[in-house]
Each structure stands twice: as structure tokens, then as C-alpha cells.
Amino acid sequence: MSNDRCNKSIHCTVEQCANHCPTASYCALDSITVGTHEANPTVDQCTDCKSFQRKCC
């Protein structure tokens, strides 16, 4: 996926994601899904971007 646009409403620093804007620290998606891997999340490390897709090559 080639992302030549940046959604300045979604800040992101995960350059390994296929949805990462190539020119700045933003996501290229219109919206994302945030979830958790914990039964009772209490800190930010318990949350996950469920829209993450590993960048190929």
C-alpha cells in the first residue's frame, strides 16, 4: 500500500505499519480502531492499534 497522504488527526510513530504516512508521523487511514489485550486495562501499554498492518519489505 502506498500512502501519499497524512491524516493529521491521527498521530503515529510506528514506521513499520503499512498505514504509516511516509513523510511525517501520522497515519494515512481515515480512522483507526483502538483496542486492548487486557481484561482490565489500567495503563497505556495495555492498548493496541487494531488497524496495524505490518509493512511488507
CB 22 within 8 A of CB 10: no
CA distance 57 to 16: 10
Q: What is the pLDDT of residue 57?
A: 77
2 pLDDT higher than 60 = no
* Mean pLDDT, rounded, for 19-38: 96
Location of C-alpha cell 501499554: 45
pLDDT range class, residue 14, cuts 50, 70, 90: very high
Amino acid letter, 29: L
